[in-house]
């Protein structure tokens, strides 16, 4: 596009989401489904955070990471679902240019941070199972805080880089996004300026923030499983595996849905299929994380039962 043609275009000030708009008669049903998912996500993750705070038995590195993961999942879903719920009542589902950039910033921050945090949690399980005698030193309070802080910094640096580069894009229209949220690849499709720098940075980030934590987690679990298989008793093997089963399940769900969302070919898929895959990654996964940890972890289940009994007792006293 020549400079003259670009100047003849109208600058984009808002975007129109096309996601879910091809089912106008189901907007009320979609609203109820996503509202239930959002409330379940908030409740489940807040219960995990509360449980790890009030129970001395959960004041360990593993549950410190878990509480941070729950906080991250609350931030993740709150970036997209509230705006989505509002748009279900709008005939024209829009978001401002500034709102789109803000959504990208928080979405990329949370996604990047979660990948690195899951790798930190894998390292915690590796040290606990492969080097149990050194665990108090290798996973001290300072180390845990540094790992969580580093996870957030990785996510923030990655997000700031992409967001700043996105502000330099010339967006001359059309302003329609075939989705229900803003994301870097979707914005690049609407740009009428050169996107080679954005795409290069996106590939580098995919390797550093996406692939590297995934490989680190995979190697950690190869070492963990090999160490578990060397335990002579079946009871010992079951006990060791039970300490990392929940995290392994969360890792498989996260990277499985992320791979479907970002690494599959864009062509040949309907809008409904694109939406479904993104819903699995951005909406369903944060809801499943506290459920997985609650169902597969005895300490968390015990604390939640105790919390439920205390809440029931306090309500009876108030009555």
**What would the pLDDT profile of 140-189 be if each residue is shown by its tens digit?**
999 999 999 999 999 999 999 999 999 988 887 688 888 888 988 888 88
Residue 80's nearest CA partner among 44, 111, 116 is 111
The DSSP H or E segment spanning 291 is helix 285-296
**With contact defined as beta carbons under 8 Å apart, do 231 and 282 qualify?**
no
Q: Between residues 94 and 262, which one has the greater pLDDT? A: 94
The overall average pLDDT reported for the chain is 86
CB atoms within 10 A of CB 198: 21
**Residue 304 confidence class, pLDDT cut points 50, 70, 90:** confident
Number of residues in the chain: 319
If you average pLDDT over residues 281-305, what whole number do you get? 81
Cα distances from 32 to residues 153, 186, 221, 279, in angstroms, run 35, 27, 39, 15
Q: Given this model, what pLDDT does residue 305 score?
A: 78
Q: Judging by DSSP bridges, how do beta strands 14-17 and 176-177 pair with one another?
A: parallel
Say whether pLDDT at 318 is over 70: no
Instruction: Write out pLDDT tens, residues 191-211.
Output: 888 889 999 998 898 888 888
In Å, how far from its chain's centre is CA 316? Answer: 38
- Indicate whether this model's pTM tops 0.85: yes
The DSSP H or E segment spanning 15 is strand 14-17
Report the b/e string of 20-45 with b at 16+ CB within 10 A: bbeeeeebeebbeebeebbebbbebb
Instruction: Write out pLDDT tens, residues 44-89.
Output: 999 899 888 888 888 899 999 999 999 999 999 999 999 999 999 8
Residue % of the chain over a pLDDT of 70? 90
Instruction: Write out pLDDT tens, residues 225-260.
Output: 999 999 888 888 888 888 888 889 899 989 888 887
**With contact defined as beta carbons under 8 Å apart, do 152 and 113 qualify?**
yes
**With contact defined as beta carbons under 8 Å apart, do 159 and 183 qualify?**
no
To 10 degrees, what angle do helices 141-167 and 61-87 make? 30
């Amino acid at each position: 596009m020549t400079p003259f043609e670009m100047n003849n275009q109208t600058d984009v000030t808002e975007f129109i989401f096309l996601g879910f708009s091809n089912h106008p008669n189901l907007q009320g049903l979609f609203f109820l489904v996503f509202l239930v998912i959002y409330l379940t996500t908030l409740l489940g993750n807040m219960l995990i955070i509360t449980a790890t705070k009030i129970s001395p038995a959960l004041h360990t590195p593993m549950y410190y990471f878990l509480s941070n993961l729950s906080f991250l999942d609350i931030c993740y879903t709150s970036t997209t679902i509230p705006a989505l719920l509002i748009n279900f009542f709008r005939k024209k589902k829009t978001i401002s240019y500034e709102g789109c950039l803000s959504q990208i910033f928080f979405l990329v921050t949370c996604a990047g941070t979660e990948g690195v945090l899951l790798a930190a949690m894998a390292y915690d399980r590796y040290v606990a199972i492969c080097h149990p005698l050194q665990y108090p030193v290798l996973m001290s309070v300072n180390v845990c805080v540094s790992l969580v802080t580093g996870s957030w910094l990785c996510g923030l640096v990655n997000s700031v880089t992409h967001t700043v580069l996105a502000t330099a894009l010339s967006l001359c229209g059309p302003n329609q996004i075939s989705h229900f949220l803003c994301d870097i690849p979707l914005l690049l499709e609407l740009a009428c300026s050169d996107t080679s720098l954005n795409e290069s940075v996106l590939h580098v980030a995919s390797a550093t923030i996406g692939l590297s934590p995934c490989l680190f987690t995979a190697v950690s679990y190869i070492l963990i499983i090999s160490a578990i298989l060397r335990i002579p008793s079946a009871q010992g093997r079951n006990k060791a595996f039970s300490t990392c089963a929940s995290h392994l399940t969360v890792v498989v769900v996260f990277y499985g849905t992320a791979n479907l969302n970002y690494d599959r070919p864009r062509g040949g898929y309907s809008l409904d299929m694109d939406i479904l895959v993104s819903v699995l990654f951005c909406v369903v996964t944060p809801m499943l994380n506290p459920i997985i940890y609650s169902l597969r972890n005895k300490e968390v289940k015990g604390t939640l039962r105790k919390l439920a009994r205390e809440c029931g007792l306090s309500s009876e006293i108030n009555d």
